[in-house]
Structure 1
């Protein structure tokens, strides 16, 4: 019995033993006085079991048959074993014309071991990054904004170069802002004093990353140099992209694309995309002098404070 049934049993027992009036019991249980008399009569004749619903503990009359449940789980096990309940339900409705509620399918997959709830999954363990072995192997660079001069001057940024293996401060420089120009000057100072490290390690500051979408689309790096991009030359414009997305992760995408290619070749409809670059352009880009790809590789470093 639930807590509600236990409370109702105590109140009706008091009414039956004349310790509580029917009107007061109706107020406590939020029922009518007539229904209180009906419940007291059932309690006297049938006992405490009469207070619970007769269908409690019995299978629902609207439940799915066992044969239907086995058929659904068989299809999921054969074709959609790595699908989520929502995605599996979409494919069952689309390809097999079988309809079932999402939560029911989820409970069936959990009971059959085909799906593990997120609350029961083990947290992902990330491998720690250990310190490097040698001095100068990895240099961590970062900027710290603070009132370093304690009010005697304006707030500034301290650019710090720290060796990862030993934790030594390799180079420090005060600058007004954390800019690319100041990082270049500090890097030049470090290279002149300690030589070239194997790698630098920085955060995701906008100086080290391209955050604007328009620059990503035109293929420009942070310092304005061209970046070579390799695209798919033979692009099937006649293939509907929605057909590939709908059949995602079904193991038939490559077979579907290959079949479409063969049909278009037979019908002489396979054409190249006008937006895709020519194959000869790729070869010319690779034969270009390194200076045009990255001028920093060939031109000497020249410090300048002029803004461009």
Structure 2
């Protein structure tokens, strides 16, 4: 008997013994007088056993069978290992047609002595910032390297952006490492699908800010503005307010997204049989839709803050590397050690030594950006110098003639030496 049942038996026995009244017994047990009278009848008819639970020792009708428990434990260890209880329940219903609650799964795994990997929680709590009221008011963007394909491929980085108001992942892409190209592709995905956001929250990586961001006192007095990175220039052109967080907690929405992705996305990619980075990028859009259906929320305000994307704006010409260059006399310029000229005639007139802005797209195309127009460039072929492949033969040594002026001094010296030696012999 449980402690509560033993207490009921003791109180009922005291009531029968005249030591307590029904009202006193009801107050001691926290019951009503009518409930105490029922307990007395059960005790009078069946004794102390009449106050015990009637289902004790019986298997409940809704209890899980041992076969189902063994199946769930086997599937977890062989196929779905690493998933948490909620995700495992979803995967069982989606792929195995087995519907179990997360609490049932927890009890099954504990009973089978299967331990789950638990994330270490932060020791210090951080108060989350309130969400923006409208979708499109703020995006948070970040990237993280991780073994997304476990031991099937090397570690690579996932770039993603999340809407602060709804929690919708607006774009994501896998790249070998954290890079400007990855962030640019994420922004292009989100802008084409949802629109241009009003603001963007990122960290202080040099991709987002120029290393020479600080201005001297003289530059500030001269009214100069802070230099922007290539990515920052793209944000300025799209009129997106770019905020650079000082701490990771400031952009906690995207930081918590990595916890969810590292917990769920790894298993989803494993179930799809993805083995390469290219295959992971092909499967990513469908996985993002699945994620958004489950985790996205409704904003406080139904009106969207997105600025409608103008299809006439070529985003490939916005997210570029930008450098100033000076045109030569033949409308040529040098970029990365290559000489370029205009690919086709244009309506603009450029004088020699005119400074222009050269842009290089993500695909490697090089163009001049002038008055809102993209002027494509092409490489020029350098003339090849013809070199003589014939090797000069070594000149034959020349021996001066006996009567050569060069020998006059030598001949006279020889005559003197000969005369002197003859005189000595005669003496």
Fold agreement, TM-score > 0.5? no
In the superposition, the TM-score normalised over structure 1's length comes to 0.43
Structure having greater relative contact order (Cα 8 Å, sep ≥ 6): 2
Larger Rg: 2
In the superposition, the TM-score normalised over structure 2's length comes to 0.32
